[in-house]
Amino acid sequence: MLLLVDAGNTRIKWAIAAPDAAPGDWTAHGAVPHAELERLQAAWAGQGLTRAIVSNVAGPAMQAQLTALLAPLLPAPPAWFTSRAGLAGLRNRYRNPTQLGSDRFAAALGARSLAPGKNLVVATCGTATTVDAVSAAGDFLGGMILPGLGLMLGALARGTAQLPQVGPGANGFAAPPTFADHTSDAILSGCLAAQAGAIERACAALPADLCIVSGGAAASVAPLLSVPHWMLDNIVLVGLHAAAPSLDSNPAST
């Protein structure tokens, strides 16, 4: 069984797939915040793992923790997925291709596997929000990095005397009226508009045939979008899955 891992700056997302499964066809999947990393031991043990592909943008301490966690569960070390100049028909136009976050390159691969031959904007609304362009011809053109919804809300609370910390309600962050009539909703209106506005500007600039929206805050941001879009739980894992066959012949990160 193949284990796919997307270690972001807030949560570790994972999925397990049979060797011949199509990208996104998973037998199990889940997510844990960094503080609950040890729960992955129970989730992954006994799954018959034979191989793992890991994207990690959360730093060397996370890599060390995942290495220790996976050592008894796998016959060989995991493949640490990294951005590179090209993979699976996707060319990376970043000035230095390896500087691109591995999750962004994986997300672009995933988007292209789901919607080949289209001009795509790929937005992942996580700790940071990234808004990237993939051309119909298969070029990762580059993109935007902005604070994610949680960071925006936290920055306003930390950096001002009068603004409160706005948290999610029972159903996440429901969009308030644009011109809100109290402070909490005014903050939320502004931060959601910043997220959705960046995505819409990217879609207009490309221009995009389709926008793919993913990440922990996607369900809060997507309803505001006035552009054609698909919302997916984890486009990064789809991309790692889609990349798996190509990594055998191009194991730059292993």
Ligand X SMILES: CC(C)(COP(=O)(O)O)[C@@H](O)C(=O)NCCC(=O)O
Active-site positions read 103
Q: Cite the beta strand spans of the chain per DSSP E.
A: 2-7, 11-17, 28-33, 51-56, 79-80, 86-87, 90-92, 120-125, 128-134, 139-147, 210-214, 229-231
Residue nearest to ligand X (CB): 101
List the one residue from 130, 195, 220, 234 that touches K ion (CB under 5 A). Answer: 130
Which residues pair with residue 53 across a beta bridge? 4, 79
104 marked among binding-site residues = yes
Residues 83-142 that bind ligand ADP (CB under 6 A): 126-127
Smallest distance, Å, CB 20 to ligand X? 29
173 touches ligand ADP by CB under 6 A: yes
Length of the chain: 254
Point out which span in 99-107, 180-188, 196-204, 241-249 binds ligand X (CB under 6 A): 99-107
216 touches ligand ADP by CB under 6 A: yes
Nearer to K ion, 8 or 23 (CB): 8
| Per-residue tokens: 199 | 């995505």
127 marked among binding-site residues = yes
CB atoms within 10 A of CB 139: 15
Beta strand 90-92 with 139-147 is parallel
List the one residue from 220, 231, 239, 241 that touches ligand ADP (CB under 6 A). Answer: 220
- Residue 80 backbone dihedrals phi, psi, to 5 degrees: -85, 110
Helices and strands (H, E) in the chain, number of each type:
7, 12
- Binding-site size for ligand X (CB under 6 A) equals 15
Q: Are 129 and 149 in contact (CB under 8 A)?
A: yes
List the one residue from 215, 222, 225, 240 that touches ligand ADP (CB under 6 A). Answer: 215
Point out which span in 12-20, 22-30, 124-132, 226-234 binds K ion (CB under 5 A): 124-132
Measured in whole angstroms, the distance separating CA 233 from the mean position of its chain's CA atoms is 9
102 touches K ion by CB under 5 A: no
Residues in touch with K ion (CB under 5 A):
124, 126, 128, 130
Residues within the annotated binding site? 6-13, 94, 101-104, 127, 183
